[in-house]
């Protein structure tokens, strides 16, 4: 028969020596495992005389449950000791600078669209949009460009069907038609968007971006158009001294029509916009042709308006000194890293457009 006093002494001394998880496990199996002292003691009960068996069994039960309680307590102590040890040794300094972060950048085209939206919203324009895939009517006919008109060749159109009814829009002007069909004047919109022409070299890509402007109301004239463009160009190039001039031109959907040049000079092989005495063409514009208004059932005796169209990519090239238009659409991360903008620097009128 096992000596219970001796067993308790053994338990006491084993428990006092426990420092970590594995010592705890060893002690546990030393007493309670398959061949543990207490397990064996229970097994030995059968050989005892029935008169003492019961008392011995209940004493063993008490010892066993006390041991289990103590082991559980020790288990918790060891766990929290280990957590504290880890907290002390594994320090994470969240104020250290992060390593190897690749930051996304805003593409110059998106940047310029944001800048233009900001500039024009200040003088009451809202943003309209239309689809890239257009029908021939909105892109040409409704814009007073009938079949066989030479302007259609000029645009080198990507047609999407044999009948030449569906196409990739060659300019943002069809959104003028879409808007005027939906909305009654006054209308004051800008339309940024993708446009397509069959053309590719240093300064032309088959897909490029335009911004259309349309202002339709009573008593709008060329003077309003000039004032609007002068405000926009000065704000966009962030140069109040910028000089611009209107040159007579021709578009089927405006009458009279003009092209707009801005002054520039070359300094140290770099183009400086707004200064100097050379001229650079930047946009086409004019008064909306009465035939166009007729096509959308607006009375041209009541309402007049101006429209303009400007190449967004070209504006980006001029403002940010980018020389090859094709590089805009190659998706080279080194290029975007160099020419891109921080996503937190949203252009606003009050905080500044590009600085
Ligand atoms: N749509 C013309 C182009 O692509 C530009 C333009 C727009 C001209 C509006 C006049 C008025 O060349």
Contact (Cβ atoms closer than 8 angstroms) between residue 328 and residue 111? no
Residue with tokens 């390593």: 99
For 130, how many CA atoms within 13 A lie in the half-sphere containing its CB? 28
- Please state which architecture CATH assigns to domain 108-339: 2-Layer Sandwich (3.30)
Separation of 110 CA from ligand 1 center, angstroms? Answer: 21
Separation of 234 CA from ligand 1 center, angstroms? Answer: 20
Which helix or strand (DSSP H or E) is residue 215 part of?
strand 207-217
Q: Which residue has a Cα nearest atom 9 of ligand 1?
A: 308
Contact (Cβ atoms closer than 8 angstroms) between residue 309 and residue 284? yes
Best residue for ligand 1 mutational test, from 225, 253, 311 (most atoms within 8 Å of Cβ): 253
pLDDT of residue 349: 72
Separation of 78 CA from ligand 1 center, angstroms? Answer: 79
Separation of 299 CA from ligand 1 center, angstroms? Answer: 22
Q: How many Å apart are CA 67 and CA 64, to the nearest integer?
A: 5
Separation of 204 CA from ligand 1 center, angstroms? Answer: 16
Q: Which residues line ligand 1 (CB under 6 A)?
A: 171, 173, 212, 251, 254, 284-286, 307-309
The domain locations on the chain are: 4-89, 108-339
Cis link prior to 310 (omega < 30° from 0)?
Answer: no
∠ CA 350-229-185, nearest 5°, is 95
Query: Atom of ligand 1 at shortest distance to CA of 213?
Result: 9
Which one-letter DSSP state was computed for residue 281?
A: E
Q: What are phi and psi of 250, to 5 degrees?
A: -140, 130
Q: What are phi and psi of 273, to 5 degrees?
A: -85, 140
Q: With a threshold of 0.75, does the pTM exceed it?
A: no
Q: How many Å apart are CA 308 and CA 211, to the nearest integer?
A: 8
- Structure-derived torsion over alpha carbons of residues 199, 202, 205, 208, reported in degrees to the nearest 10: -130
pLDDT in tens, the chain (355 residues): 788 889 899 999 998 989 888 999 999 999 999 998 899 888 888 888 888 888 888 999 999 999 999 999 999 999 998 888 888 888 888 888 887 777 889 999 999 999 999 999 999 999 999 999 999 999 999 999 988 887 777 668 999 999 999 999 999 999 999 999 999 999 999 999 999 999 888 788 999 999 999 999 999 999 999 999 999 999 999 999 999 999 999 999 999 999 999 999 988 888 888 888 899 999 999 999 999 999 999 999 999 999 999 999 999 999 999 988 999 999 999 999 999 998 887 777 776 777 5
Q: Give the residue from 255, 236, 257 showing the smallest Cα distance to 347.
A: 236
């Amino acid at each position: 028969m096992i000596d219970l006093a001796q067993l308790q002494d053994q338990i006491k001394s084993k428990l006092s020596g426990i420092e970590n998880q594995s010592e705890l496990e060893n002690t546990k199996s030393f007493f309670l495992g398959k061949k543990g002292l207490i397990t064996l003691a229970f097994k030995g009960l059968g050989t005892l005389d029935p008169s003492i068996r019961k008392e011995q069994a209940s004493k063993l039960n008490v010892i066993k449950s006390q041991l289990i309680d103590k082991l559980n307590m020790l288990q918790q102590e060891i766990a929290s000791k280990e957590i504290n040890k880890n907290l002390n040794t594994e320090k994470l300094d969240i104020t250290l600078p992060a390593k190897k972060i690749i930051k996304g950048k805003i593409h110059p085209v998106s940047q310029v669209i944001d800048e233009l939206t900001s500039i024009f919203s200040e003088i009451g324009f809202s943003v309209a949009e239309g689809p890239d895939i257009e029908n021939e009517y909105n892109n040409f006919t409704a814009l007073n460009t009938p079949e066989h008109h030479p302007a259609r060749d000029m645009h080198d159109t990507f047609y999407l069907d044999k009948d030449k009814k569906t196409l990739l829009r060659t300019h943002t002007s069809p959104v003028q038609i879409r808007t005027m069909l939906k909305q009654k004047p006054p209308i004051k919109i800008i339309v940024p968007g993708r446009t397509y022409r069959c053309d590719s070299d240093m300064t032309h890509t088959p897909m490029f971006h335009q911004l259309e402007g349309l202002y339709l109301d009573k008593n709008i004239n060329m003077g309003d158009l000039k004032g609007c463009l002068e405000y926009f160009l000065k704000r966009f190039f962030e140069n109040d001294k910028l000089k611009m001039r209107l040159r007579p031109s021709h578009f089927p959907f405006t009458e009279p029509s003009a092209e707009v040049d801005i002054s520039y000079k070359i300094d140290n092989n770099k183009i400086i916009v707004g200064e100097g005495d050379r001229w650079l063409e930047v946009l086409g514009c004019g008064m909306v042709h009465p035939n166009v208004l007729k096509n959308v059932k607006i009375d041209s005796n009541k309402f007049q308006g101006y429209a303009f169209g400007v190449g967004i990519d070209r504006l980006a090239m001029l403002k940010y000194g980018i020389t090859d238009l094709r590089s805009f659409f190659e998706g080279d991360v080194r290029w975007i890293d160099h020419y891109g903008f921080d996503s937190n620097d949203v252009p606003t009128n009050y905080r500044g457009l590009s600085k």
